[in-house]
Every structure is written in structure tokens, then in C-alpha cells.
Structure 1
Amino acid sequence: MMSFSDVVEVIKSLSIVEKQELQLLLKQYLREERREEIYKNLNTAQIEEKKGELKFSSNINELRQMIKE
């Protein structure tokens, strides 16, 4: 397995076009990972809602108290 510094050195040796392609790929991978994280959070929130574990309020003081809990 390559270390992070090995990967960085390999990237340095790439052409500009290859670096740009790598940049596009990384952006795509990050976007996909973020979408997956959001999807997992949605599922968790839906399960918590069904169990009645979610609390809602429009009162700012109540919201601050909830955050502290």
C-alpha cells in the first residue's frame, strides 16, 4: 500500500492534463461520498422520527436547551 506522501509524489509527476482529470475525479468522488452521507443522515432522521425521538420547537430558548442536551 502506498503512503500519502508516495501518492503526492506520483501526482506531482503527472502531466497537467492528468492532474486536471484527477481533480475532476476527486471532485466527483467527494460529491458522491457527501451524497451518501446525506442519504444516511436522512434515513437515520426518518427512523428517529418514527420512534418519536425527534424534538421540534420554534422557541429559541428551547432550541438552545436542546442543543446543550
Structure 2
Amino acid sequence: MMKFNDVVDVIKSLSTDEKREISLLLKQYLREESRDQIYENFQSTKQEEKQGELIFSKQINRLKELLE
């Protein structure tokens, strides 16, 4: 397995076009990971709601209590 520094060194040696391609790929991978995490959080929240574990309130003092 390559170490981070090894990866950085390899990237430094690439052409400008290859660096741009890597940049685009990284942005795409980060978007996909972010999307996946949002979906996982959504699924988890749906499950919590289904099990009655979520507490809702319109009262600011109650919301502050819930955050503590």
C-alpha cells in the first residue's frame, strides 16, 4: 500500500492534463461520498422516527434542553 507522501510525489510528476483529470476525479469521488453519507443519515433518521426516538418541539427553551 502506498503512503500518502508517495501518492503526492507521483501526482507531482504527472502532466498538467493528468493533474486536472485527477482533480476532477477527486471532486467526483468527494461528491459521491457526501451523497452517500447524506443518504445514510437520512435512512438512519427515518429509522429513528419510525421507532419514536425523535423528539420535536417548537418551544425554544425545550429545544435548548434537548441540545444539552
After TM superposition, the score normalised by the length of structure 2 is 0.95
Moved over 6 A (4+): none
Instruction: Give the TM-score taking structure 1 as reference length.
Output: 0.94
1:36 Cα shift? 0.4
1:31-58: per-residue Cα shift (whole Å, max 9, x none)? 0000000000000000000100001112
Q: Across the two proteins, how many residue pairs are aligned to each other?
A: 68
**CA RMSD for the aligned pairs?**
0.7
Q: Equivalent residue for 1:55?
A: 55
Q: Deviation at 1:60?
A: 1.5
Return the offset for 1:67: 1.0
For the pair 1:26 / 2:26, whether they are aligned, the reply is yes
Do residues 11 (structure 1) and 2 (structure 2) align? no
Between the aligned residues of both structures, percent identity stands at 59
